[in-house]
Structure 1
Amino acid sequence: MKVSKELLKGSTATLILSLLNEKPMYGYEMIKELESKSEGIFSFKEGTIYPILHTLEGKGFIVSYWGEGNGNRKRKYYRINEQGKAFMKEKKEEWNVFKDAVDGVLNGEKVVWD
């Protein structure tokens, strides 16, 4: 089942930061990891991922560096920094509130906040 691009639009940066919180990765590796972890629900093109990576880097949430991949091939790796971790944490909390509210409405229940 495919998910609407509109639903993914605001979440892609958080998904990327979450991956980078596990380990540094290069762009194509992130695409494959997102696809694998979501069992094919998240299927991104490089043209989607790289502009987001550039934006995250511009905002100071990630840093990039050149490293060697398979066969001594140069790859641009990205890693999350402390500012990015704080932003990711905030976005995850925001997502959980949103998800709980949507679930409550869809299930006809009132959401009770702690």
Structure 2
Amino acid sequence: MAAKNTLTTGIAELLILSILNEKDSYGYEICKIIKENSDGLISLSYNTTYAATCKMIDSGLVTEKNVKVGKKRTRIYFHLEDKGRDYYNKLYETYQNMSLGVDKIFHSLKEQNEE
């Protein structure tokens, strides 16, 4: 289970940024989008999402805005700033290269094993 948590924590920021790159969202919605779009294979807790988002706010990548929903309730929506968009694009490119590299290593090792 520790390996799964390490990987999830490592990609949480990328997943959150990818959602915010498309639209402003609030914590619960971010969790729901990740779970639904991964067919339930990835599920981030609200606490994980909130902690990652707060870190990005502190870094100036994301801002937050309180939006009134209903008569008394408010939601905190997160917005991706230009600095965050640049960071997301670099992070996404790094992820793609790492993913491709890992796949190549797995494929190469499998071929060597079959010889």
2:8–2:44 CA contact under 8 A, matched in 1: no
The structure having more radius of gyration, on CA atoms, is: 2
1:49 Cα offset (Å) = 0.9
Higher percent of residues as helix: 2
What is the correspondence of 1:15-94 to structure 2 with a 5 Å cutoff?
A: 15-69=15-69, 71-72=70-71, 73-94=73-94
* Runs ≥4 residues deviating over 2 A: none
Per-residue displacement from partner, 1:31-52 (whole Å, max 9, x unpaired)?
Answer: 0011011110111111111111
Where do 5+ consecutive residues of structure 2 fail to align? 110-115
Per-residue displacement from partner, 1:52-101 (whole Å, max 9, x unpaired)?
Answer: 110000000000000023x3421000010100000000000100110011
Identity %: 27
Q: Distance in 2 between matches of 1:51 and 1:6?
A: 15
Normalized against structure 1, the TM-score is what? Answer: 0.87
1:96 corresponds to which residue? Answer: 96
2:67–2:74 CA contact under 8 A, matched in 1: yes
Where do 5+ consecutive residues of structure 1 fail to align? 110-114
Q: CA RMSD for the aligned pairs?
A: 1.4
